[in-house]
Structure 1
């Protein structure tokens, strides 16, 4: 019985010459310089410029495939058949440099002109306290026309919130996540632009998931979601 057990272990531990090719997921593009780590044997290899790799492993060994900007892939060796390994690129969403300076500068300028004509000591406490917060300052500044000031404040708030949304949710970001035709972009964004309250708490993963889910729905309901032409 001990002889049979030894023989079984010897077969299980037989090293195989594992070969394969590393690809980018959802394409036939080959990925070079992928590090292959046999975590069971503590050995390393690397795919060549054509994505081809070779490494020794036994049945049951776990191979980890890693490269910067790709999600690590793990495979358990079952046999010595040629392996095709598909790596998922990591999507990173760069914040677009959309500035809100012009809006803030216009509001600050209005306060500045008011301060030039009014001694600082005579400023209403609410105005003096809001020199560095122009939007609320405008509301205090024009207290006699409170309704107009409140409308202006609400408008300014919406404008600045829209700037923050567009920094993280824009055409460039959407195209990085899904393959959307240019002619569908406007309709998609009109139907599925998130709110400021959503975007300010979302991580990149949340934006990616939102775009993917929304676009899947958009593709199924495209015609009903497109803006209707008015004649």
Structure 2
């Protein structure tokens, strides 16, 4: 009897160890700096598992050796990580300036997270089961759903308030155009209720305010990656 108990316990420990080995943890930083990045989107291109970094830049994702992870965040160069082991990772994303019309999660095709990640929406639903409400998997799913919803809204804004259109209204380009569009980026609700002619007026009025600022106030400070 004692031998059977020991065997069962050993099997349980072995299975637990196997499960632990399928989870990769780590932290995402801005370059070599100590600044940690939240809401970095992580995707295992082999298994299609996805995750987000938390407010402290930490992440946890189910994966395996020989899998490839993609880390992406607006304004940073996406990083690819090929896993040769599952030791905790320090991932560094290089700052590239603000990408005003960047596609972060999928390719340039229509972004439809409900079709691409149906499990996220299913697990995000509230249920009577406490584990479905307070469990980590459910919490992570609800957080990812909010992320997808924000991403969808941002893409709708980008489709209207884009560099080609804005630069046709005001004489800005390059870094100056990026800073202007970031500082005066309209909300989706504003764009949905504003006719095209009024949007042109909004951009012109914003440009006047922008140029009235002291030069140092017209530039958005970037965090250093050094």
Fold conserved between structures, TM > 0.5: no
Which entry has the higher C-alpha Rg, 1 or 2? 1
Classify the TM-score, shorter chain. Answer: 0.3 to 0.5
